[in-house]
A and B are shown apart, each in its own frame.
Chain A
Amino acid sequence: MTTPLFLANNPLLGAYQLATQQRRWQLVMGVVMVVLLSLLAAWGAEVDLFKFYENIGNFTSYIGRIFYLDSGLAAIRDPFEWFWGLDKWLWLLLETLMMAYVGTVLGALGAVLLCFMASKNMTRSAYLVFVTRRFMEFSRTVPEIVFALIFVFAFGLGPVAGVLAIAIHTMGALGKLFAEVVENVDMKPVQGVIATGGNWLEKIRFAVIPQVLSNFASYSLLRFEINVRGAAVLGFVGAGGIGETLISAIRKFYYSDVSALLILIILTVMIIDGLTEKLRHSLIGTEVYK
Chain B
Amino acid sequence: MPLRLPNRCGPDCIAGFRAAAVQRYRDACRLADGERRTGAVYLWGYSIEMLLKAAFFRAFGYDDHRPITTADLRAAIQLAPSVGYTWPAGGNLHHLPAWGQLLVRVRSHLPSAAYSTRQFPGRILTRTVQAYQVWREMLRYHENRAYEHEVRTVRASAEWFFTHAAQL
Note whether A and B form a binding pair: no
**A interface residues (Cβ-Cβ under 8 A, vs B):** none
**B interface residues (Cβ-Cβ under 8 A, vs A):** none
